Amino acid sequence: MTSRERILSAINHVEPDHVPRDLGATPSSGISAIAYNNLVRHTGLNSGPAKIYDVVQQVAQPDDAVLDHFHIDAVDVGRTFNETPAHWKEFPLADGSIGLIPTWFDPQRQPDGSWNVYKNGIKIARMPIGATFFDGTYTPYPEEIPEDLSDLDAQMDLILWQAMVHSPWDHASEADFWPELRRRALALRAQTDRAIVIVCGCNLFEWGTFLRRIENFLCDIMEDEEGVERLLDALLERHLKSLEMVCKYVGDVCDVLRFGDDLGMDTGPFMQPSIYRRLFKPRHQQMCEYVHKHSQMKTFLHSCGSIYRMIPDLIEAGYDILNPVQFVTKDMEADRLKREFGKDVTFWGGGCDTRHVLNHGTPEQVRDHVRQMIETFAPGGGFVFNTVHNIMPDCPPENVEMLFKTVDEY
């Protein structure tokens, strides 16, 4: 099987020849810049400093040599942009190593060593000294969801996830972006047999939390349902326009479209499933139906936390894939997920716990843990191996190497 066939077989619940794997096909299934630099030094690949394509999370874009070395089966179409050295500049990381950030990104170093990001004179993000990612600092609607949302586009542009967006969307304002995206996607498909992922976000719940702050938006859901629906409809209108263009230009080229909406905490979902069904599920369903009707792409939802109680609704809404499969949270035991939902949805993740095992365990403990996860999730397909969210800076490189060696041996 080719890598693309391996990924698609797994999504179609046909057990492939090998367990398919991902490292860096999305900004929630990758590796931090610090961990990446440590890994390439440890393996001797010498692929150069980490290219930090997601500047918010400081996530690296793996070099081709790294993808080949670890037999990775999927890639992000965004890697086809920012392809020359002129697109990158050096940036000091918290551990003293050097990463590369896109030349358009201009964080300002503060006297105490922290970093601020400004747009239109407003501080929109900050990374404290010693930290390894940026936090948003601007809230457009702190008092209430306004009746008039005519400034929504301008306010969304001041949220760090949009203002500091990863490739290919950092080029979206260019006049020829859409035909250029297609040209580059076709070239990538001709060059590799890996599955191609396009990351579109199209968040609904999370955009509410970005625009209102999370505590305010959770109150809105209970106390201002009319305002929430007004905001969600405005967001959905924008998302459907984006999906129309994505499907038109690369819907026949890309294999997977990645959505995002963090719906869970460690202890359970952010809301009762009945509220999800009323406010969010119909809109998620519209987006999934549009993608399935107008493209060949499979739909992938990134949602952190304990979402067990929502999984039946997420499947009904049309998601083919769930990530990152946080089995350490409430009700999310791996064997339970596989037993109850393994025939209806693909688990892209859940291959190794990054909170306790990959960062604190020995290589032998990593090996035993990864074997257990593969033996739970892999039978019958419906599984793409990936860690539970990104590989963080505190993960020893020998553990990361053992992670993929164990997948090779399975």
> Domains, the chain, ranges and CATH?
3-44+71-76+140-409 (3.20.20.210)
Encoded tokens for 201: 């976000």
The sign of the torsion formed by the CA atoms of 387, 389, 390, 395 equals negative
Counting as low any pLDDT under 50, the low residues of the chain are none
Predicted local confidence at residue 410, as pLDDT: 82
Which one, of 159, 170, 109, 162, lies nearest residue 137 by Cα?
159
- CB-side exposure of 384: number of CA atoms within 13 Å? 34
What is the C-alpha to C-alpha distance for residues 283 and 183, in angstroms, rounded to an integer?
31
Dump pLDDT digits (tens) for 157-193: 999 999 999 999 999 999 999 999 999 999 999 999 9
Summarize pLDDT for 259-280 with one digit per residue, the tens: 999 999 999 999 999 999 999 9
Q: Which one, of 322, 320, 317, 321, lies nearest residue 306 by Cα?
A: 322
Asked if the peptide bond before residue 142 counts as cis, ω within 30 degrees of 0, the response is no
The CA distance from 397 to 393, in Å, is 10
> How confident is the model at residue 47, as a pLDDT?
82
> Alpha carbon of 167 to those of 105, 158, 286, 312, 337: distances in Å?
12, 18, 25, 32, 33
